[in-house]
Amino acid sequence: MKTAAIIGGGVIGGGWAARFLLNGWNVRVFDPDPEAERKIGEVLDNARRSLPGLSDVPLPSEGALTFHEELVEAVQGAAWIQESVPERLDLKLKVYKGLQEACDPDAIIGSSTSGFKPSELQEGALRPEQIVVTHPFNPVYLLPLIELVPTDANPPAMVKNAQELLKSVGFFPLHIKKEIDAHIADRFLEAVWREALWLVKDGIATTKEIDEAIRMGFGIRWAQMGLFETYRVAGGEAGMRHFMAQFGPALKWPWTKLMDVPDFTDELVDLIADQSDAQSGMHSIRELERIRDNNLVGMMRALKAQNYGAGAVLNQYDALLKPGALPTLEQTDISQPILTLARAVPLDWTDYNGHMNEAKYVEAFAAATDRFMEIIGCDADYIASGGSYFTAENHIRYVDEAHAGAKIEVRTQMLLGQGKKLHVFHSMYEGDKLLATGESFLLHVSLESRRPSAPSPDIEAAMARIAEAQAGLPYPEGAGAAIRKPA
């Protein structure tokens, strides 16, 4: 199991700790703040509730989290060291000196810095080739982007290794090949921030109105297409060239004040702070974090369905996790109900009662049925050849509650697998707690005629093998049940 050292346990450092820990890494934290353990614990609570639900396969088993009073203890043996101390260059250079005297020479040292260039961080370092900028975005445990900024001092093999390690925990490492102050993304944010300050100062818009303009309009577009692809679409059939010709002249108009900055006076700070309190002060920071996480997970899971933007990154990450996530038929003790689903309950699977929506049990059991079909040989290749199973009837019993972040498993017993007929009984658990059962009756169908047909001999043989192995299992409680007419 790999080890990551987190130097600085604030909001960003805590997010890094959560990302590594929930992806199976051991995490060591060094932070002199006596409140660091509490703060990181609260970030972890939110991460455990939201991050696992982005994946449709289970994350690795959680690593071990430890807190260390000495920097040397935290970094020894760590494969990745993430520095997230305050934005003071003298402090960062002092930290690097101490940790490089103790850390593995092959360890990667990443800095969360928003503004400093990697050449500045490498200045006077014992091993400058170890240090790169790995700038994340909050919340680090959900958002995929990492701005990876090396210099010529960093060997290509080291940069490639950094990219692969970041991808292995679900990040999208954007390799920035030429360093610049504030990298790429924060330069955009700074431009919008400067313009927003003027709009508030000049009394044109409040903080709430500016946020509404972003989140109700271009913010949604940018979330899935970015800037240039959005404008390419805006150009219509003629594309980007037409857009540039149509809107290019506007660059000469005095629309923005990007070359000017309002004086950061106490009055301006008070004005913005008061408006922000009126806008969001009814929520605690933890409540706002959960609102943010709910929205991010919902948007990114929607993008997964389109395999677009951040959704494509999540699908690629699921593909890394999927091999070995569920056992094959050869790896399974088929004399017992077979593990057919293992995942976390996503935030968007919960309803107004705060627990898993009843329709999502159907979705989970359908996924378990699909997995059972794969196990007996009715996989994508078989379906492409013209045969499949259609569900004829379902019956679900809701036994207990499941909440967001709960790690659920479904185990499947085959009650009948013969000829055209397949009858399975699913049991959903959280740990040892039974949450629900789902019973499904399916018919094998020819996709050409859309009529019931016999499955392949290989599928018949697989079902016979499972039937023989499970013959000694008791008939499950609830199987064959229906809603009874009241007396």
Looking up residue 401, the CATH number of its domain turns out to be 3.10.129.10
Per-residue pLDDT at 428:
98
Last residue of one domain, picked from the residues 151, 175, 199? 175
10 is in an annotated binding site: yes
- 480 within domain boundaries: no
How many domains are there within the chain? Answer: 3
For residues 61 and 151, state if they share a domain: yes
Last residue of one domain, picked from the residues 142, 175, 208? 175
For residues 265 and 203, state if they share a domain: yes
Contacts by 354-358, CB closer than 8 A, 24 or more apart = 354/403, 355/401, 355/402, 355/403, 356/401, 356/402, 356/403, 356/406, 358/396, 358/398
11 is in an annotated binding site: yes
For residues 52 and 141, state if they share a domain: yes
- DSSP codes of every residue in 229-287: HHHHHHTGGGHHHHHHHHHGGGGGSS---TT------HHHHHHHHHHHHHHHTTS-HHH
pLDDT digits (tens, 9 = 90+) for 431-456: 999 999 999 999 999 999 999 999 99
Alpha helices in 144-227 (DSSP H): 156-168, 185-201, 207-213, 219-225
- 307 within domain boundaries: no
Nearest to 153 by CA among 133, 174, 173: 133
DSSP letter assigned to residue 356: B
Give me 425's structure tokens.
């009984």
Contacts by 386-389, CB closer than 8 A, 24 or more apart = 386/446, 386/447, 386/448, 387/444, 387/445, 387/446, 387/447, 387/453, 387/455, 387/456, 388/444, 388/445, 388/447, 389/422, 389/442, 389/443, 389/444, 389/445
Per-residue pLDDT at 209:
95
Per-residue pLDDT at 264:
75
Give me 122's structure tokens.
């490498």
- 322 within domain boundaries: no
- 42 within domain boundaries: yes
Mapping DSSP to helix (H, G, I), strand (E, B) and coil, where does residue 192 land? helix
For residues 95 and 227, state if they share a domain: no
Which segments in the chain show pLDDT lower than 70?
Answer: 251, 487
Per-residue pLDDT at 72:
95
pTM: 0.85
8 is in an annotated binding site: yes
Give me 311's structure tokens.
């959704």
Last residue of one domain, picked from the residues 236, 263, 282? 282
- 144 within domain boundaries: yes
H/E stretch holding 4: strand 3-7
- 479 within domain boundaries: no
For residues 170 and 213, state if they share a domain: no
Report cis status (omega within 30 of 0) of the bond before 139. yes
User: Which CATH number is 109's domain given?
Assistant: 3.40.50.720
For residues 34 and 136, state if they share a domain: yes
Label the pairing between strands 407-418 and 338-344. antiparallel
For residues 130 and 223, state if they share a domain: no
- 167 within domain boundaries: yes
For residues 278 and 201, state if they share a domain: yes
Q: What are phi and psi of 435, to 5 degrees?
A: -100, -40
For residues 221 and 366, state if they share a domain: no
12 is in an annotated binding site: yes
- 13 within domain boundaries: yes
Per-residue pLDDT at 379:
94
For residues 54 and 109, state if they share a domain: yes
User: Which CATH number is 227's domain given?
Assistant: 1.10.1040.10
For residues 149 and 207, state if they share a domain: no
Q: How far apart are CA 385 and CA 448, in angstroms?
A: 10
Per-residue pLDDT at 159:
98
Nearest to 345 by CA among 418, 409, 300, 270: 409
Range of the domain at 439: 338-469
The one-letter amino acid code at 459 reads: I
Give me 276's structure tokens.
């922000």
For residues 49 and 121, state if they share a domain: yes
Q: How far apart are CA 202 and CA 299, in angstroms?
A: 34
Q: Residue 301 in contact with residue 346, Cβ under 8 Å?
A: yes
